[in-house]
Structure formats: C-alpha cells, structure tokens
Copies of this chain bind each other. A is one copy, B any other.
Amino acid sequence: MSADRRTVIAAQLEAAAGVCEREGARLTELRRRVLGLILEAEGPVTAYQLLDRLKETRKRAAPPTIYRALDFLISRRLIHKLERLNAFVPCIETGHEHAAQFLICRQCGTVIEIEDHAAADALEHAAEREGFHPRRAIVEIEGTCALCFHP
C-alpha cells in the first residue's frame, strides 16, 4: 500500500473516532481495527474475509467478534452492507445519515457509491403514496461500469 493511501486511511480513522466521540459511542481498538481493514480493502469485503485478516493480529477472533464489530460500524454509519453481495464497504460520507445508492459492476466487481437526491426523493414519494413510512432505502444497481463497457 502506498504511503499516501495509508495517510488517507489514518485520516478516515481519525474522522471516525471524532464521530464516535461526539455521539458518545466507543470506537474500541477492535472496532477501529475492523474499520481499518474495510478501509484498506480495494472493494467490498465479506465478514469471513475480514475475520481471516483480523486473525492475523488477533488470533482469538471468531465470527461473533466480526459481526458485532460490523453491527456497531453500521449503526454509527461508518460502513454499509451490500445486501446483494453480503459484503461491506466504507461509507463515503462518514458518520452522517445519507441516501446511499450503489452501482455494482458485474464484470469487475467494482462498487461505486453515489448519493442522488432526486432518486431518493422519488423513492420516498413513491413509498408515501402507498401510505408507507420509509426509514431506509436499499438501492443496489447491477450493471456494467464505464471501464468494463465495450459496446
């Protein structure tokens, strides 16, 4: 990993620590380490991939270790779960409520997070027209990314 990338990740971890502190949540060593592993990953990473990596430095880690850390990080909006992939990625907008939408490339597996308010609003209105009170929208669009697309 480049020095630049390490610096960026360190800054993201500090930002996460700030978010947690302001909200009275404890970003423990374990949780910070798991968040670090997700930030280091090049793309979506599964719970058991994280577990394998975590075990390199924390031999006694078991599935609940990872799932509890993931639950915490999701509850603090520091990461997202991609339901389609059963995998996890960092939030682009650390620690804030935001409308998240994901573009998943079927060729290369790359995932791009976007935040499109027009689409989010349209979905909210569509739900409300049914008398439904939306709390969270899962939006995962599968297709081909710009780099993989050859017409």
| B136/A141 in contact, CB under 8 A | yes
Mark A residues whose CB is within 8 Å of B: 83-84, 101, 103, 105-106, 112, 114, 116, 118-119, 121-123, 125-127, 130-146, 149
**A103 to B: closest C-beta gap in Å:** 5
Q: For the complex, what is the distance from the CA of A130 to the CA of B149, rounded to whole Å?
A: 12
Pick 22 A–B contacts, CB within 8 A, sort by A.
A83-B138, A101-B126, A103-B127, A103-B130, A112-B130, A116-B126, A118-B122, A118-B125, A119-B122, A119-B125, A119-B126, A123-B141, A127-B143, A131-B149, A134-B142, A135-B143, A136-B142, A137-B139, A138-B139, A138-B140, A138-B141, A139-B139
A143 contacts B136, C-beta separation under 8 Å: yes
CB distance from A145 to the nearest CB of B (A): 6
Give the Cβ gap from A85 to chain B, nearest Cβ, in Å. Answer: 9
| Pairwise interchain contact B139-A143, C-beta atoms closer than 8 A | no
CA distance A137 to B104 in the complex (A): 10
What separation, in Å, do the CA atoms of A101 and B132 have in the docked complex?
A: 13
Residues in B whose Cβ lies below 8 Å from that of A119: 119, 122-123, 125-126
